[in-house]
């Protein structure tokens, strides 16, 4: 966290790192901290996650750039898991992770017995009030990731009265249920949703009928819109919120990069100007809209989430008009740009290159070649392509295209 010209500190931007690549992308694009999972103990079983070597490399990469790494241990762990946890915790302490994120008091106690790593209580614990924050603090927590039902004002009060660091979600997909209080997948699909097996039953369309009526209504009534708190950043700052979390370890590098870039640029702007009154706000919002998402809502950040926070639509019906076409692998004035192609594009297309800082660069493709130097008119996914050098564009920059 950096100091501001006024009396408040800037919150850290905490980005999701579903893999080592995404960790690097998030940090290079401005995230102050990332959260990542090992192969066990986290909630994203299907995510790529990190090997031990990758965790070590990720922490080194982050610390060199003054960023932090928090490791999730936020699955609801069973007794047999706790027998395996101490070795992992000691490893995490050895590689100097900055905190672990836990949901369960048993994990808090196990981490404390085996290390001095700071403990953040996960949103899975649905901590919603001052008294709950106090009891977690007594248990040994140094930070609370509040439930998404808490408003920014209430969060500020919790921070002051419980005297503990507060982290809040600022962006991303949301559980409709109190986190940790949904077991639909457990009982209907045999997959423990609180151990990484969520089948997203809340996103299904349901046919509803009252007991006294034959009338049936079809609705996606349990599906939440995505959280977006860009216009509330000043309120987060005023209330002294310590960390702004972006959901999405399963999402793409483009998502991790774009979110890290937008929220960190917005906070830097505030740091310099003391306000958000800028046309840049529209620019940042436009950037957020270029990443696939459900309709946005401020949910309960300002006042209790109402019916307009329900996303009553089929998943994935809205194709995003922007797609990621690739990542710059190498860049140099002599070499040009070598791009790993994820989605095809043509000569004549206008690509948007996202530098780590500053505005995207729109470049029309006038020539491109394969690594052997042969001209290419249309790229193919999973190939490498050479483009002319663009000053300011460097390795690991992301490239997108309007579809």
We find the least distance from the C-beta atom of residue 268 to another protein, in angstroms, to be 27
List binders of another protein among 3-32 (CB under 8 A). 20
Q: Which stretch binds another protein (CB under 8 A): 3-11, 127-135, 247-255, 257-265?
A: 127-135
The closest of 79, 73, 77 to 101, measured between CA atoms, is 73
Shorter beta-carbon distance to another protein: residue 332 or 358: 332
- Residues 38-77 within binding reach of another protein (CB under 8 A): 39, 45-46, 48-49, 51-54, 57, 76-77
Would you count residue 138 as binding another protein (CB under 8 A)? yes
Position among 93, 154, 271, 349 found at the interface with another protein (CB under 8 A):
154
Q: Which of 14, 33, 88, 110 binds another protein (CB under 8 A)?
A: 110
Listed ranges 9-17, 261-269, 353-361, 366-374: which one lies at the site for another protein (CB under 8 A)? 366-374
The region of 165-173, 181-189, 236-244, 348-356 touching another protein under the rule CB under 8 A is 181-189
- DSSP H or E run through 143: strand 143-145
* Alpha helix stretches (DSSP H) within 11-70: 20-28, 52-64
8 A C-beta contact, residue 208 and residue 217 = yes
Tell me: does residue 372 bind another protein (CB under 8 A). Answer: yes
CB of 82 to another protein, least distance (A): 5
Q: Which residues pair with 328 in a beta bridge?
A: 339
By C-alpha distance, which of 352, 238, 231 is closest to 282?
A: 231
Tokens of 338: 């070598």
Is 378 among the residues that bind another protein (CB under 8 A)? no
Q: How many residues bind another protein (CB under 8 A)?
A: 100
10 Å CB burial of residue 95 (0-12, 13-18, 19+) is: middle
Per-residue contact string for residues 155-174; x = within reach of another protein by CB under 8 A:
--xx----------------
Q: Nearest approach, Cβ of 290 to another protein (angstroms)?
A: 25
**Cα-only R_g, the chain:** 22
DSSP 296: E
Of 86, 68, 69, the C-alpha closest to 77 is: 86
User: Based on CB atoms, which residue is closest to another protein, 76 or 263?
Assistant: 76
Name which of 83 and 367 has its Cβ closer to another protein.
83
Site string for another protein, 286-325 (x = CB under 8 A): ------------------xxxx-xx---------------
What are the φ and ψ backbone dihedral angles of 353, each rounded to 5 degrees? -95, 130
Contact mark string toward another protein, 235..274, x via CB under 8 A: ----------------------------------------
- 340 phi, psi to nearest 5 deg: -85, 120
Give SS3 for 397.
Answer: coil
Q: Based on CB atoms, which residue is closest to another protein, 266 or 309?
A: 309
Cβ–Cβ under 8 Å, residues 63 and 32: no
Determine the Cα–Cα distance for residues 22 and 339; give it in Å rounded to an integer.
17
Residue 131, CA distances (Å) to 143, 162, 165, 221 in order: 14, 7, 14, 32
Q: Which is nearer to another protein, 12 or 115 (CB)?
A: 115
The three-state secondary structure class of 353 is: strand
Q: Could you tell me how many residues make up the chain?
A: 403
Could you say whether residue 86 binds another protein (CB under 8 A)? no
- Site membership for another protein, residue 279 (CB under 8 A): no
Provide the 10 A C-beta neighbour count for residue 80.
7
Is residue 184 near another protein by the rule CB under 8 A?
yes
Among the listed ranges 64-72, 142-150, 267-275, 347-355, the one in contact with another protein (CB under 8 A) is 142-150
**What stretch of H or E contains 87?**
helix 79-94
Residue 340 interacts with another protein (CB under 8 A): yes or no: yes
Near another protein by CB under 8 A: residue from 183, 277, 286, 403? 183
The residue within the footprint of another protein, chosen from 3, 5, 131, 316 (CB under 8 A), is 131
Cβ 35 to another protein, closest distance in Å? 19
Q: How far is CA 201 from CA 184, 185, 262, 297, in A?
A: 7, 7, 31, 20
Q: Which is nearer to another protein, 97 or 267 (CB)?
A: 97
Are the C-beta atoms of 243 and 12 separated by less than 8 Å? Answer: yes
Q: Which of 178, 289, 320, 363 binds another protein (CB under 8 A)?
A: 178
């Amino acid at each position: 966290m950096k100091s501001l010209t006024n009396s408040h500190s800037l919150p850290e931007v905490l980005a999701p790192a579903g893999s080592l690549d995404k960790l690097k992308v998030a940090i290079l694009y401005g995230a102050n901290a990332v959260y990542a999972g090992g192969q066990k103990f986290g909630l994203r079983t299907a995510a790529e996650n990190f090997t031990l070597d990758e965790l070590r490399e990720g922490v080194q990469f982050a610390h060199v750039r003054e960023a932090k790494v928090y490791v999730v241990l936020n699955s609801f762990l069973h007794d047999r898991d706790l027998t395996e946890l101490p070795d992992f915790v000691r490893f995490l302490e050895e590689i100097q992770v900055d905190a672990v994120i836990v949901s369960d008091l048993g994990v808090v106690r196990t981490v404390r017995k085996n290390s001095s790593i700071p403990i953040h209580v996960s949103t899975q614990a649905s901590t919603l009030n001052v008294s709950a924050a106090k009891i977690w603090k007594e248990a040994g927590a140094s930070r609370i990731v509040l439930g998404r039902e808490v408003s920014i004002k209430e969060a500020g009060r919790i921070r002051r009265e419980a005297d503990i660091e507060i982290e809040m979600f600022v962006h991303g997909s949301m559980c409709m249920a109190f986190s940790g209080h949904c077991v639909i997948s457990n009982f209907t699909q045999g997959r423990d949703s609180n151990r990484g097996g969520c089948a997203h039953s809340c996103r299904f369309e349901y046919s509803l009928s009252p007991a006294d009526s034959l009338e049936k209504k079809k609705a996606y009534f349990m599906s939440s819109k995505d959280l977006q708190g860009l216009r509330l950043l000043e309120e987060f700052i005023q209330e002294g919120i310590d960390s702004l979390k972006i959901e999405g370890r399963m999402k793409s590098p483009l998502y991790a990069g774009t979110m890290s870039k937008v929220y960190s640029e917005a906070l830097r702007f505030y740091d310099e100007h003391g306000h958000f009154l800028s046309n840049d706000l529209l620019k940042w919002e436009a950037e957020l809209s270029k990443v696939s998402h459900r309709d946005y809502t401020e949910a309960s950040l300002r006042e209790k989430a109402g019916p307009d926070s329900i996303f009553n639509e089929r998943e994935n019906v809205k194709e995003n008009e922007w797609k990621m076409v690739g990542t710059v692998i190498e860049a140099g004035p002599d070499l040009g740009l070598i791009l790993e192609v994820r989605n095809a594009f043509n000569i004549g297309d206008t690509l948007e290159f996202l530098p780590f800082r500053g505005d995207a660069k729109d470049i029309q493709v006038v020539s491109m070649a394969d690594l052997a130097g042969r001209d290419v008119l249309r790229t193919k996914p999973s190939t490498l392509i050479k483009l002319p050098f663009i000053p300011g564009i460097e390795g690991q920059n992301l490239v997108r295209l309007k579809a």
